[in-house]
Amino acid sequence: MQNGKNGQGMRLNLGILPAFFILALFIFAAVFANYLAPFSPTEINLSNARLTPLSVVGGVTYWLGTDQLGRDILSRIIYGARVSLIVATIGVFAAGSIGSILGIIAGYRGGAIDSIISRSVDVMLGFPTILLALVLAIVFRPSLFGVALVVILIYWARYARQARGETLKIRTMDYVTLARTAGCSDLTIMMRHIFPNVVNSLLVLATFNVGTVITLEATLSFLGAGIPPPTPSWGTMCADGRGILVSAWWVSFMPGIAITLVVLSSNLFGDWLRDKLDPQLRDL
């Protein structure tokens, strides 16, 4: 039987499984690094420098090879996951919370508060991210704490803007009017009515943000303004291998792959989450 416009057909649900798997692996590696890593990530062993991946030395396999200081790449990647996870978690959670709260307040109250917050958001979003990150990173001295702070300062504005936009829509709903008529305080209304109806879109934003934050941290570390050595960070690892790209490509390549896979997976997860949470697509 023929019919009107024919569109996409069934959505492919297979693509999300590898993404789930990679993200699960990422978290698992970060949490259980101590048990998973075959070697210490920081132990220098110059006699084993620049081993190619799958080299076997003394009955022990270096699955991803070693860098120019003889450190096992695989172990450094596993420990590096921890760094990425910590920065991503703290950064996204803190930026998300602060940004969302400010956005909701701005959207609900309007007036002067809205003007102040919105202008701040505009300023933050107008700055080139890397430049700002570099400046801030130098001010706060390269450290895990410093990177987390940079992430918060840069990304809160995205959440604020999203939260404000959603709040403006929710604010006109009858159930909000009814709450005001009942005499509820602004705070009660924001917590009971605005936030629960806004949180879904913010969660989706957060999943996409995870990838961005990991990339930002890697970039900062690559530029030397992020996590200082000897803590392994995927960004620093990429930087370490820059000079020997031709002779020992795996030193930069492996952490680069790790970054790519995790960012890609978190983006796919964000797509999936958005589709899942969108009530209009729910019935299909």
Partner 1 sequence: MSESEDVLLRVVGLKTYFSLRRGLVKAVDGVNFFLKKGEVLGLIGESACGKSVTGLSILRLIPDPPGRIVGGHIYFEGEDLVSKSEGEMRKLRGSRITMIQQNPDSSLNPVFRIGDQVGEAITAFQKLPKKVLSERVVEMLRLVKIAAPASRARDYPHQMSGGMRQRVAGAIALSCRASLLIADEPTTNLDVTTQGEYIKLLQDIQQDTGIGIIFITHDFGIVSQICDRVAVMYAGKIVETGPTIDVMEKPLHPYTMALLDAVPRPGSRGTLLRSIEGQPPDPVNLPATCSFAVRCSRAAERCTKEVPGETKISDDHYVSCFYAG
Partner 2 sequence: MPLKNAPLLEVKNLKRHFPVKKGIFARVSGWVKAVDDVSFAIDKGETFGLVGESGCGKSTTAKMILLIHEKTGGEIWFEGKNIAHYSGNERQAYRESIQPVFQDPTGSLNPRLRVGSIIREPMTVRGIMSPKETDERIAEVLSAVGMRPEHAQRFPHEFSGGQRQRIAIARALSTSPKLIVLDEPISSLDVSIRAQVMNLLLRLQQQLGLTYLLIAHDLAVVLHMSSTVGVMYVGKMVECADSTELYQNTAHPYTKALFAAAFHHLSDMKPGVLINPGEVPSPLHPPPGCRFHPRCPQAMPVCGEIEPVLKEISRGHQVACHLMATA
User: Which segment (3-11, 33-41, 124-132, 270-278) binds partner 1 by CB under 8 A?
Assistant: 3-11
Which of the choices partner 2, partner 1, none does residue 35 contact, using the CB cut-off of 5 to 8 A by kind?
none
The span from the CA of 250 to the CA of 76, in Å, is 13
Residue 144 burial (10 A CB sphere; 0-12, 13-18, 19+): middle
The span from the CA of 90 to the CA of 105, in Å, is 22
Q: Counting contacts by CB under 8 A, is residue 5 touching partner 1?
A: yes
- The least CB distance from residue 192 to partner 2, in Å, is 7
At residue 55, φ and ψ (nearest 5 deg) are: -70, 145
Q: Counting contacts by CB under 8 A, is residue 126 touching partner 1?
A: no
Q: Counting contacts by CB under 8 A, is residue 274 touching partner 2?
A: no
Cβ atoms 41, 5 nearer than 8 A: no
Choose, by CB under 8 A, the member of 57, 93, 175, 276 that binds partner 2. Answer: 175
Q: Counting contacts by CB under 8 A, is residue 9 touching partner 1?
A: yes
Which of the choices partner 2, partner 1, none does residue 109 contact, using the CB cut-off of 5 to 8 A by kind?
none
Residue 192 burial (10 A CB sphere; 0-12, 13-18, 19+): middle
Q: Counting contacts by CB under 8 A, is residue 171 touching partner 2?
A: no
Choose, by CB under 8 A, the member of 184, 223, 244, 273 that binds partner 2. Answer: 184
Q: Counting contacts by CB under 8 A, is residue 7 touching partner 1?
A: yes
Q: Counting contacts by CB under 8 A, is residue 2 touching partner 1?
A: yes
Cβ atoms 38, 74 nearer than 8 A: yes
The pattern of x and - marking residues 194 through 233 that bind partner 2 according to CB under 8 A reads: --xx------------------------------------
The span from the CA of 162 to the CA of 168, in Å, is 10
